[in-house]
Amino acid sequence: MRKLLRTIFLVDLVQGLMVTFRTQNPKNIVTEQYPAQRPKIAERYRGAPRLNINPENGQTLCIACDLCALACPENLIVVGWERNPETKRKDLINFTYDTSRCMFCGLCEDACPVDALELTQDFELASYSREGAIFDRQILEEGIKPTKYKF
Ligand code: SF4
Ligand code: SF4
């Protein structure tokens, strides 16, 4: 009989809610408020790739040596270059990086002898198509531009 009355009057439910409301302060937000507040990213985090340019002359630091492409276990980096007949050096023509296949292992970054290729702390890599995940030289040099939401 006692059990039946507890069930009818939802005593267990009310007791449970009392415990919840005793310990819950709606002003204490414990979940991440992304994208209103951007989370702090760990220093060692490896995110969006970046092809660095020389800040003094605006020229790419990449010497088109192809070592990053050779180091990549996924073969997702393509370095396009042509030989400059005057300097006899390789000039970088294009650079593609397929982030959809990347596992962000950092081997390409480590292989680069001139620190041109860098995996940054930018983590917003989502796109609406597979094509959007393929970064060309321009995106790699300018960096990704994630949407800034207003609240
Ligand atoms: S991080 Fe790893 S998988 Fe991604 S491009 Fe570099 S070497 Fe390849
Ligand atoms: S290893 Fe560095 S310098 Fe060589 S092609 Fe890749 S990004 Fe360019």
> Which atom of ligand 1 sits closest to the CA of residue 111?
7
Mean confidence (pLDDT) of the chain: 93
Residue 122 in tokens: 């930018």
Give the model's confidence band at 98: pLDDT under 50 very low, under 70 low, under 90 confident, else very high.
very high
Residues within 6 Å of ligand 1 by CB: 71-72, 74, 76-77, 102-108
Other C-beta atoms lying within 10 Å of the C-beta of residue 118? 17
What residue ranges define each of the domains in the chain, with the CATH number in brackets? Answer: 49-142 (3.30.70.3270)
Percent share of the chain, pLDDT over 90: 74
The pTM of this model reads 0.81
Over its C-alpha atoms, the chain yields an Rg (Å, rounded) of: 26
Peptide bond into 26 cis (omega under 30): no
Give the helix/strand (H/E) hosting 28: none
Over range 79-87, report the average pLDDT: 96
For residue 31, the model assigns a pLDDT of 84
Indicate if the pLDDT at residue 132 is higher than 80.
yes
| Residue percentage of the chain with pLDDT more than 70 | 100
